[in-house]
A and B are shown apart, each in its own frame.
Chain A
């Protein structure tokens, strides 16, 4: 049974005695640390935004973190270190282990379209341990968007010391907008991500235990 999951050539066997390993330990740890750090960054960021809104709205204070601008800034600039350390560990692992190359690539537009249309008809088979083309696109995209959020955040934080970076992002005021857009992209990703977990709840346990429950495969329709 495990072979039907990890049948792609070049894959190292990830099967142990029990259920197959879907998410390695480092991916699981960084996933949940990232979830916490991102939540802190976004909620405190909304409070900072509220101090001088770019657009004609404010975030509901109940959804923000920090209580006032000074508190929100303290959270934002503390959580950024957690986000950065965690993100660095994840990126290093993804590059060195081959996780990115193996699981996110190739990104074939035709396959993305095919899987996207299947998903809309609720006909997309989910195979634990294997990302479909839409997932590949989303996961690769959110990494790029998160990198944009970090770079634009640095540009706002240090527009003098990092003048070149800030200029590349449209100057201080441009970088503020890029930072807001990147946040919006991340929030959009999280909403789709959570919706899909709600639709296919059996994808949740492997992100905690690392392994898919055996019964998850019983209902699996191989493509």
Chain B
């Protein structure tokens, strides 16, 4: 039925590497219970792959719908200091005691991809750039939410300063905790998207992603990578740690 037309409607640049697609498929397959499948479709597990293809295609469709719904000028609601959630929940794919400890004195943010000036940035250099801070709601893909205050360099001004190609499709991040993620350029240029240095008012405690975290109040929490080590600009879909396992890539709020 529409599966093929849906897939054909995806522009070539949208098509993720085949390997990543297979990985995702396998992962979704693990997630399907036999009981649920037989109950809902009356089919046996041989239809598993087709189910996963449909779910993946629908997730790509939802990426496009969300990109269309995204208003680059609409700001996420902001809150007062009194609304801040304390203690702010720690959340990662590993335990709190496994969070990496980085040395701020030697830290350098590595740059690559479609960027004119790719020299790495120290924390001191980042702090010399104009800063912005805001109190916004962090919404986790799990459903819970918490309000926090983040301050740092607006990603837009940083991208402009380093001569990034802002017509490129994606901005990707690789992190010291082996996490990785990527966002669309429209969201990267949103005025509230920050390369956050401060949480809430000074350098962030280690477990919250010291020294650099992407703060995107227009996306779910897992699109806010912590412990950022490198940033790149690209037109090739970069995926992400959870995205490659089946979470929706755009995941916009």
Q: Identify the A interface with B (CB < 8 A).
A: 36, 39-40, 43, 48-49, 51-52, 54, 61-62, 64-75, 77-78, 81, 158-161, 163, 172-173, 176
Contact = CB atoms under 8 A, between A and B. Distances in A.
Given A70-B242, A161-B252, A75 B142 contact: no
Nearest to B143: A52
A204 B120 CA distance: 70
Given A40-B40, A72-B31, 4 more contacts: A52-B140, A67-B31, A71-B31, A163-B74
A108 B40 CA distance: 38
Contacts of A73: 141, 246-248
B218 A160 contact: yes
Contacts, number: 96
A39 B55 CA distance: 16
A176 B247 CA distance: 20
B105 interface: no
Interface string B49-74: 00000111011011000000111001
Interface string B226-253: 0000000000000000100111100011
Given A68-B31, A70-B27, A173 B145 contact: yes
B136 to A, nearest CB: 9
Contacts of A65: 33, 36, 40
Given A66-B31, A71-B28, A160 B74 contact: yes
Given A67-B30, A160-B218, A36 B40 contact: yes
Contacts of B252: 158, 160-161
Contacts of B253: 158-161
Of listed A40, A54, A69, A74, residue having the most chain B CB within 10 A = A74
Nearest to B251: A73
Contact of B143 (A39, A51, A64, A159): A51
B58 A67 contact: no
A168 B239 CA distance: 35
Contacts of A67: 30-33, 36
Contacts of B62: 77
B35 interface: yes
Contacts of B32: 66-67, 71
Contacts of B246: 70-71, 73-74
B248 A176 contact: no
Given A74-B28, A74-B59, A161-B70, A51 B242 contact: no
B137 interface: yes
A52 B252 CA distance: 19
Contacts of A75: 55
B144 to A, nearest CB: 4
A55 B75 CA distance: 31
B73 to A, nearest CB: 11
B139 A159 contact: yes
B76 interface: yes
Contacts of B70: 161
A77 B74 contact: no
B12 interface: no
A76 to B, nearest CB: 10
Contacts of A43: 36
B172 interface: no
B77 interface: yes
A62 B59 CA distance: 24
Given A70-B246, A160-B76, A78 B58 contact: yes
